[in-house]
């Protein structure tokens, strides 16, 4: 609680110091004022009136007749112009979107010819003031389009080039969505709500999604944006929360999901049970005035209650097998101690194994296909509550503020398929923002923004923090790093993974890495000065980023029973002889702290009525993070052999060398060739300093962590279930798996260069935008997980490793590259104020030379000495088409009675057609003898694609490949392509007008996701071996088959 108070104190203090977005500098109305002959009129008074709040802003035209009104909020506006000797001119019905710059020229009439010139202005559709790439999703689409899970950022796909990961998760969810565009990775993006960051410091996830009913609109920018935006190397999203108005408005709603009306998953044929889901999302919003034209409030609540059950079949040991009777086993059990056999397959039972199996593995409950004898369900529940409050206040014409606070709390208890392994899950999240705007004069405005984002996820085994210990199972000497290591603490204890090949697992598997306390504090200041044709922006953004997190793979250790000792895995377990043992890594916590600063300058130079130049520059510094818990270590390659540094318990100073080269120019132009044609283009650089996973994984080194693998001999085994790491098998010195920075500690920030050439053409109420977009990525981060792999060849792997005093070395690497070229089309038809159609299409090709980031698996290179292998990137997708529509049907009936059934209908849809993504073929057999699972087979010259490929026939053939032997395979990285995606989501809504008020409506809506019930197949199995019959086969789907949702909303 004291930490929270400290955060709020910093937030309040920063209000008096200095920001980015309740009202934004790039949300503006600008133009020129001229007389009937077209000459400019200086010193004319321009008043911009907000229809919803009654608030006004007044400016004077400059000497060349130009005006610009900035820091506006999205909404409906009226512009009135007065000038001596001319009749007042009024332009009404101006709908301004987030980050939109509306160009509105006003031609005055001579006084006396007319009293007032009033025009209902057509909504400007062309982007004629800047070269940025992106699109705005307004509230009409946000609240009406069908959204599975009601996550606003799923609609970012309406913007060309955007990709979403993890768009909907009904199970235990600690990993939110990430958003990427063009060649960018998901963890490079930035998402702000009212100008304050809302992404996790560890992996750029968005978890604290504002309710879609609380969002006014959001803008997705994919490149060439203004210099004020940064701390990302890809997509930038700005979310604008709703605010109160002079009239009360709000809603109440409930969305209901039930698996009873959902289609069966393609791979769960009857009589298998369907996946179960019972879900309710409900809430309410209310906004209105506190003091008319002065102070406004908006409040929102949304709750979610979800029960998700995934049925599955497995195998468990029978009562006879638990007592050593394996006479039902068709094979012959081998005695690993003598090399002989067990008569009638009767074996002595290890008492520790007996106690564990009887206590922690359920008994058979049926007889099912494939020899399965156990049917169960894994359960993922969620209970979420989110509260949003926002207050806007205008002191006077010169001073205004807003403040928002978002609090979410998520509970997600889970149960494995084995019901003896359960987990607690809590996830409180806070986001607060404050913006203060002071108008020194119509030409000089200062904006100060401060904010904080806090997230604290904790998923633990129900045993953690109790009196449970691994020793209580009868397992001894299972210490971090082996028998000479440290014991697990009370808060690190959990059930080790006990893996019996092809049988139901035992162990706390889900609580490996879900401890994360993420905090970001920020303060920013923008000064905007308008001088003649120039609009100048000077600003700074300072952020303190903190994250306490763990990263591990086997926190409680693991023993694997494979059947290599007795010829049958369950017999290995009951005899108590594992094939391998992996020592516990524990749950070390890295307390990372980092400062990030940026200074920027932007000049939007309106050369004339046709041409605007955008000239900006930004300078960022990402200071090297500091680990306050002193658990981070790295290899010192200056010594032979390398050693871990610093000494245990000491701080690793200068984790990596700081770079002072993050200079980011932003250049662009917009040229209005005709009133209906705009030509735009731009070039810009963005940088990304990395999430904290790059430092978090450096905790995986001894003595704090560090795993060690022990292999039991198949004849005369020494390791047992009660003594998994015996001294006789413990190497001296031990060969630990470790993590390291590059030898030179050089860590440049990711740099993305983006350029575009764009033509916009307006056709009445529609606009077609055609863009060529190119990007080039440099210094991309990854990790080479098998950096210590030897060259292919015979002999013991450990002796042949480059650094043979260590086992696997996971080396961070910052030398990756990428490039991307695309034709992007965006069509938007605003049919009327309640109907619109959006079409987005991309034809592109993306290359990279390494693969994934550190957070998503690392480099997929088979030759770690040459990790730069150009190929189609993992995120490459050649074609992507998205169609969205919101169409309000005309009111067919004139009478109220007939209108109850015939009027008030709206049809909505979201259609996606996309080509497949690359598939990387690996070989599951280590024929190269290098300890690298990314090794690839050799091509035989046969076409790898099966004729008439399908989910039934398979996708690829094994005949196209052969094991590579003691050589690197010649199959290229990302050689094949998987199935594409074809989804249709639709909804039908009916509004019933309430008899007591025209502005009150009861809405009933029916939604169908994957409405055509088309299976969306995942990529095929790509792990090759000559005997793997599953290779090239598809066994799962990307999303579920058809799902239905019913909703009721009350709107006023």
Residue 658 domain-assigned (yes or no): no
How do beta strands 414-415 and 422-441 pair? antiparallel
The mean per-residue pLDDT over the stretch 884-906 comes to 87
Structure tokens at 232: 């990302």
Backbone angles phi, psi at 236, to 5 degrees: -125, 125
SS3 state of residue 26: coil
Backbone angles phi, psi at 222, to 5 degrees: -110, -5
The DSSP secondary structure of 265-328, one letter per residue, reads PTT--TTSPPPEEEEEEEEEEEEEEEETTTEEEEEEEEEEEEEEEEEEEE----HHHHTTB-TT
Which pLDDT score is estimated for 751? 95
Measured between alpha carbons, how far is 473 from 496 in angstroms, rounded to an integer?
A: 10
The rounded mean pLDDT for the chain is: 90
Residue for token pair 């792997």 = 797
Q: Residues near 117 by Cβ (< 8 Å), separated by ≥ 6?
A: 87, 88, 89, 90, 108, 109
375-389, 597-611, 722-736, 826-840: which has the minimum mean pLDDT?
A: 722-736
For 986-1044, the pLDDT digits (tens) are: 999 999 989 888 889 999 999 999 999 999 999 999 999 999 999 999 999 988 899 99
How many domains, in total, are found in the chain?
Answer: 1
Label residue 582 by pLDDT band (50, 70, 90): very high
Which pLDDT score is estimated for 165? 73
Structure tokens at 781: 């981060």
For 560-570, the pLDDT digits (tens) are: 999 999 999 99
Residue 674 pLDDT > 60, yes or no? yes
Measured between alpha carbons, how far is 1048 from 280 in angstroms, rounded to an integer?
A: 12
pTM above 0.75, yes or no: yes
Q: Residues near 874 by Cβ (< 8 Å), separated by ≥ 6?
A: 848, 851, 852, 860, 917, 918, 920, 974
Residue 964 domain-assigned (yes or no): no
The mean per-residue pLDDT over the stretch 925-944 comes to 95
Measured between alpha carbons, how far is 39 from 747 in angstroms, rounded to an integer?
A: 57
Residue 116 pLDDT > 70, yes or no? no
Residue 18 pLDDT > 80, yes or no? no
Measured between alpha carbons, how far is 80 from 67 in angstroms, rounded to an integer?
A: 12
Q: Of 869, 871, 875, 870, which is closest to residue 853 (Cα–Cα)?
A: 875
Q: Tell me the CA distances in angstroms from 633 to 489, 650, 703, one per residue in order.
A: 21, 9, 10
Which pLDDT score is estimated for 512? 56
Which pLDDT score is estimated for 180? 86
Measured between alpha carbons, how far is 619 from 359 in angstroms, rounded to an integer?
A: 60
Label residue 757 by pLDDT band (50, 70, 90): very high
Give the other-Cβ count within 10 Å of 683's Cβ: 16
Which pLDDT score is estimated for 117? 54
* Strongest mean pLDDT among 452-456, 461-465, 487-491, 692-696: 452-456
End-to-end CA distance of the chain: 38
Residue 52 domain-assigned (yes or no): yes
Which pLDDT score is estimated for 17? 35
How do beta strands 534-549 and 590-606 pair? antiparallel
The mean per-residue pLDDT over the stretch 470-486 comes to 89
The mean per-residue pLDDT over the stretch 538-561 comes to 91
Residue 770 pLDDT > 90, yes or no? yes
Q: Residues near 865 by Cβ (< 8 Å), separated by ≥ 6?
A: 791
Q: Of 72, 61, 56, which is closest to residue 31 (Cα–Cα)?
A: 61
Which pLDDT score is estimated for 5? 42
Q: Tell me the CA distances in angstroms from 450 to 298, 396, 402, one per residue in order.
A: 20, 21, 11
For 95-105, the pLDDT digits (tens) are: 888 888 888 88
Measured between alpha carbons, how far is 739 from 722 in angstroms, rounded to an integer?
A: 29
Signed CA dihedral, 740, 744, 750, 755: sign only: negative
Give the other-Cβ count within 10 Å of 268's Cβ: 16
The mean per-residue pLDDT over the stretch 681-686 comes to 97
Q: Of 45, 66, 49, which is closest to residue 57 (Cα–Cα)?
A: 49
Q: Which helix (H) or strand (E) holds 628?
A: none
DSSP 701: S
Label residue 647 by pLDDT band (50, 70, 90): confident
Number of H helices, E strands in the chain: 8, 58
Label residue 176 by pLDDT band (50, 70, 90): low
Give the other-Cβ count within 10 Å of 686's Cβ: 29
Which pLDDT score is estimated for 23? 57
Q: Tell me the CA distances in angstroms from 406 to 152, 734, 783, one per residue in order.
A: 15, 50, 35
Residue 407 pLDDT > 60, yes or no? yes
* Strongest mean pLDDT among 51-60, 514-523, 603-612: 603-612
Residue 617 domain-assigned (yes or no): no
Which pLDDT score is estimated for 250? 96
Residue 106 domain-assigned (yes or no): yes
For 20-78, the pLDDT digits (tens) are: 344 566 788 988 899 888 888 998 999 999 988 888 898 999 888 889 998 888 889 99
For 204-252, the pLDDT digits (tens) are: 777 888 999 999 999 999 999 999 999 998 789 999 999 999 999 999 9
pLDDT higher at 980 or 120: 980
Label residue 174 by pLDDT band (50, 70, 90): low
Label residue 13 by pLDDT band (50, 70, 90): very low
What CATH number is given to the structural domain containing 39? 2.60.40.1120
Q: Of 786, 735, 738, which is closest to residue 929 (Cα–Cα)?
A: 786
Which pLDDT score is estimated for 15? 36
Q: Tell me the CA distances in angstroms from 562 to 14, 331, 573, 676, one per residue in order.
A: 59, 15, 9, 70
Residue 111 pLDDT > 90, yes or no? no
Judge contact between 67 and 59, C-beta under 8 A.
yes
Q: Rounded to 5 degrees, what angle do the CA atoms 682, 687, 691 make?
A: 145
SS3 letters across 717-771:
CCCCCCCCCCCCCCCCCCCCCEEECCCCCECCCEEEEEEEEEEEEEECCEEEEEE
Domain of 89, in residue numbers: 27-120
Residue 214 domain-assigned (yes or no): no
For 718-744, the pLDDT digits (tens) are: 999 999 999 888 887 888 889 998 888
Measured between alpha carbons, how far is 898 from 882 in angstroms, rounded to an integer?
A: 36
Residue 220 domain-assigned (yes or no): no
Residue 40 domain-assigned (yes or no): yes
């Amino acid at each position: 609680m004291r930490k929270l108070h400290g955060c709020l104190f910093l937030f309040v203090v920063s209000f008096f110091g200095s920001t980015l977005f309740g009202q934004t500098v790039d949300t503006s109305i600008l133009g020129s004022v001229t007389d009937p002959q077209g000459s400019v009129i200086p010193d004319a008074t321009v008043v911009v009136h907000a229809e919803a709040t009654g608030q006004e802003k007044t400016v004077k035209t400059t000497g060349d007749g130009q005006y610009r009104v900035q820091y506006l909020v999205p909404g409906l506006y009226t512009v009135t112009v007065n000038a001596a000797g001319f009749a007042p001119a009024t332009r009404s019905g101006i709908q301004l979107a987030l980050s939109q710059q509306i160009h509105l020229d006003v031609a005055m009439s001579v006084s006396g010819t007319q009293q007032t010139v009033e025009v209902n202005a057509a909504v400007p559709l062309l982007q004629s003031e800047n070269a940025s790439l992106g699109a705005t999703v307004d509230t009409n689409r946000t609240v009406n389009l069908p959204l599975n899970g009601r996550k606003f950022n799923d609609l970012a796909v309406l913007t060309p080039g955007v990709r979403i990961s993890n768009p909907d998760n009904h199970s235990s969810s600690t990993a939110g969505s990430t958003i990427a565009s063009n060649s960018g990775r998901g963890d490079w993006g930035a998402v702000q709500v009212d100008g304050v960051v809302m992404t996790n410091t560890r992996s750029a996830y968005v978890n604290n999604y504002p309710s879609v009913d609380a969002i006014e609109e959001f803008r997705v920018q994919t490149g060439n944006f203004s210099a004020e935006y940064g701390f990302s190397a890809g997509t930038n999203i700005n979310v604008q929360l709703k605010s109160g108005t002079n009239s009360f408005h709000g809603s109440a709603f409930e969305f209901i999901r039930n698996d009873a009306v959902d289609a069966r998953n393609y791979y769960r044929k009857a009589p298998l049970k369907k996946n179960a889901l019972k879900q309710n999302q409900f809430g309410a919003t209310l906004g209105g005035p506190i003091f008319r034209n002065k102070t406004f409030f908006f409040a929102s609540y949304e709750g979610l209650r979800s029960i998700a059950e995934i049925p599955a079949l497995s195998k468990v040991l029978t009562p006879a097998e638990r007592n050593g009777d394996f006479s039902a086993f068709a094979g012959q059990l081998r005695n690993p101690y003598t090399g002989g056999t067990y008569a009638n397959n009767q074996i002595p039972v290890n008492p520790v194994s007996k106690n564990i199996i009887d206590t922690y593995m359920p008994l058979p409950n049926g007889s099912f296909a494939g020899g399965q004898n156990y049917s169960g369900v894994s359960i993922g529940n969620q209970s979420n509550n989110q509260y949003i409050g926002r207050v806007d206040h205008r002191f006077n014409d010169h001073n205004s503020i807003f403040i928002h606070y978002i609090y979410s709390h998520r509970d997600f208890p889970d149960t494995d398929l084995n019901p003896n392994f359960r987990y607690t899950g809590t996830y409180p999240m806070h986001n607060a923002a404050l913006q203060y705007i002071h108008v020194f004069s119509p030409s000089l405005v200062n904006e100060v923004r401060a904010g904080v984002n806090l997230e604290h996820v904790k998923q633990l085994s129900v045993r953690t923090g109790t009196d449970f210990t691994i020793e209580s199972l009868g397992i001894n000497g299972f210490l971090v790093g082996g028998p000479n290591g440290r014991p697990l603490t009370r808060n690190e204890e959990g059930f080790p993974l006990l893996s019996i090949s092809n049988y139901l697992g035992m162990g706390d598997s889900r609580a490996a890495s879900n401890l994360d306390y993420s905090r970001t504090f920020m303060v920013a200041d923008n000064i905007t000065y308008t001088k003649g044709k120039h609009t100048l922006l000077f600003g700074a953004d300072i952020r303190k980023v903190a994250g306490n997190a763990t990263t591990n793979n086997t926190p409680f250790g693991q023993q694997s029973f494979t059947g290599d000792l007795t010829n049958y895995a369950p017999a290995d377990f009951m005899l108590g002889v594992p094939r391998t043992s992996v020592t516990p890594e524990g749950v070390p916590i890295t307390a990372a702290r980092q400062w990030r600063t940026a200074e920027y300058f932007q000049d939007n130079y309106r050369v004339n009525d046709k041409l605007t130049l955008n000239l900006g520059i930004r300078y960022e510094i990402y200071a090297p993070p500091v680990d306050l818990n002193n658990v981070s270590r790295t290899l010192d390659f200056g010594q032979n052999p390398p050693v871990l540094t610093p000494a245990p318990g000491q701080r690793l100073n200068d984790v990596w060398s700081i770079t002072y080269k993050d200079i980011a120019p932003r250049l662009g132009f917009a040229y209005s060739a005709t009133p209906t044609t705009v030509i735009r283009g731009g070039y810009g650089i963005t940088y990304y300093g990395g999430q904290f996973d790059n430092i978090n994984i450096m905790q995986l080194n001894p003595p704090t962590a560090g795993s060690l693998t022990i292999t039991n001999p198949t004849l005369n085994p020494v390791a047992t279930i009660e003594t998994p790491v015996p001294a006789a098998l413990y190497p001296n010195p031990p060969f630990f798996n470790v993590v390291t920075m590059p030898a030179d500690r050089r860590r440049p920030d990711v740099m993305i260069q983006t350029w575009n050439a764009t033509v916009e053409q307006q056709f009445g109420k529609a606009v077609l935008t055609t863009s060529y977009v190119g990007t080039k990525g440099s210094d991309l981060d990854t990790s080479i997980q098998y950096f210590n792999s030897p060259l292919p060849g015979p002999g013991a792997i450990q002796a042949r490793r480059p650094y043979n005093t260590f086992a696997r070395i996971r080396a961070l690497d910052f030398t990756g590259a990428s490039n991307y070229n695309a034709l992007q089309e965006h069509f938007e038809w605003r049919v009327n104020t309640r109907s619109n159609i959006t079409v987005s299409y991309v034809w592109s090709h993306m290359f990279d030379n390494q693969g994934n980031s550190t957070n998503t698996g690392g480099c997929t290179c088979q030759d770690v000495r040459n990790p730069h292998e150009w190929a189609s990137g993992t995120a490459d997708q050649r074609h992507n088409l998205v169609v969205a529509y919101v169409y309000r049907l005309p009111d067919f009936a004139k009478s109220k009675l007939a209108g109850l059934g015939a009027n008030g209908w709206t049809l909505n849809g979201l259609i996606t057609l996309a080509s497949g993504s690359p598939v990387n073929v690996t070989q599951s057999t280590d024929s190269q003898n290098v300890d690298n699972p990314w090794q690839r087979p050799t091509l035989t010259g046969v076409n790898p694609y099966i004729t008439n490929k399908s989910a039934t026939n398979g996708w690829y053939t094994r005949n196209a490949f052969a094991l590579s032997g003691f050589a690197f395979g010649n199959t290229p990285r990302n050689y094949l392509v998987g199935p594409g995606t074809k989804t249709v989501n639709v909804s039908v809504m009916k509004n019933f007008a309430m008899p007591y008020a025209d502005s009150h409506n009861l809405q009933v809506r029916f939604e169908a996701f994957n409405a055509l019930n088309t299976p969306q197949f995942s990529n095929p199995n790509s792990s090759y071996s000559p005997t793997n019959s599953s290779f090239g086969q598809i066994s799962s789907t990307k999303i579920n088959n058809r799902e239905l949702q019913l909703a009721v909303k009350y709107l006023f």
